[in-house]
A and B are shown apart, each in its own frame.
Chain A
Amino acid sequence: MWIERLTYSPTTHAVELAAQFAEQRQKLLATNVANIDTPNYVTRQLDPQAFQASLKDALERSQESSGRGLELRGNAQFSTGADGRVEVRPVEEPAENVLFHDGTNVRLEQLLTDVSDNALMYELSTNLLRGRFTNLLQAIRGSVA
């Protein structure tokens, strides 16, 4: 559609993917906090740094080919599906628990740090997206007010 040609940009798409990743990671972190007292539950995680590196590669590839979609690949934890959305496959946290004998390895402090970090990433993504939409609106109206 013409409106998509008008509004599409690889960076906006990248920000969208980052927001989707943060959404999926939030779900995972909620599961980890929920199971904080469940015996034999092993923490699962997604690596945000690997995601950002992968996103950077995708942006570079998109610039070289002047192609349209961004495609995340080369990482076992996440990829873009057929509909262009981020699909995630969390991995189990390798950290061993040496203190307790209930088979869990939940570290609450680390978990809550990750939660704050993830919320900020999501806030950043949504703010950038909102800025982009505001720009478009200004262009459509022909005024900055």
Chain B
Amino acid sequence: MIQALDISSSALVAQRTRLDVIAGNMANSEVTQQEDGRIEPYRRRFVTFMTGDGEGGPGVHVGAVEQDQAPFKLRYDPEHPHADESGYVQLPNVDLTMEYIDALAASRAYEANAAMLDVTRGMMQQAIQLFA
């Protein structure tokens, strides 16, 4: 029974990591410069889920955080300091609508697992009352 709790909490961690990555994408959706000063837009990140808790137990975990290799968006803005010689600025390949929908899905999955945790907790409560 304790293991069922571990399984549900592994899923909560995985879904929260997914939400963290989505938040990062949204926050960086207009960023045109890298941390080290290079003029290159932010690349969208996404998580891939793998079954198992990563240490041999059951559950789910984030297998990897990948970078989306889709092409960057272009905007004509010759005044921008990061514009190329023909006046176009490269912008991150983040689509806010897609991120919103992904965030919604992650939040629903989080809820489902939190509900699962509650049911398991109720069952453990029942078992404990056997001693009472």
Contact = CB atoms under 8 A, between A and B. Distances in A.
A133 B112 CA distance: 35
Nearest to A116: B119
Contact of A34 (B7, B18, B105, B127): B7
Interface of B is mostly: helix
A31 B5 CA distance: 10
Nearest to A122: B123
Contacts of B120: 26, 30
Q: Give chain A's interface secondary structure class.
A: helix
Given A31-B7, A31-B59, A34-B116, 15 more contacts: A19-B127, A23-B1, A26-B123, A27-B1, A27-B4, A27-B7, A33-B113, A34-B8, A34-B60, A36-B11, A36-B112, A39-B49, A126-B130, A127-B126, A133-B130
Contact of A30 (B4, B106, B122, B129): B4
A41 B130 contact: no
A33 B113 CA distance: 6
A26 B58 CA distance: 13
A29 interface: yes
10 contacts: A23-B1, A26-B119, A29-B4, A34-B7, A35-B11, A37-B18, A108-B112, A112-B112, A115-B115, A127-B126
Nearest to A40: B51
A35 B51 contact: yes
Contacts of B49: 35, 37-39
B3 interface: yes
Interface residues of A, number: 28
Interface of B: 1, 3-5, 7-8, 10-11, 14-15, 18, 48-51, 58-60, 105-106, 109, 112-113, 115-116, 119-120, 122-123, 126-127, 129-130
Interface of A: 19, 22-23, 26-27, 29-31, 33-39, 41, 108, 112, 115-116, 119, 122-123, 126-127, 129-130, 133
A33 B51 contact: no
Given A23-B1, A27-B58, A122 B7 contact: no
Nearest to B3: A27
Contact of A37 (B105, B115, B126, B130): B105
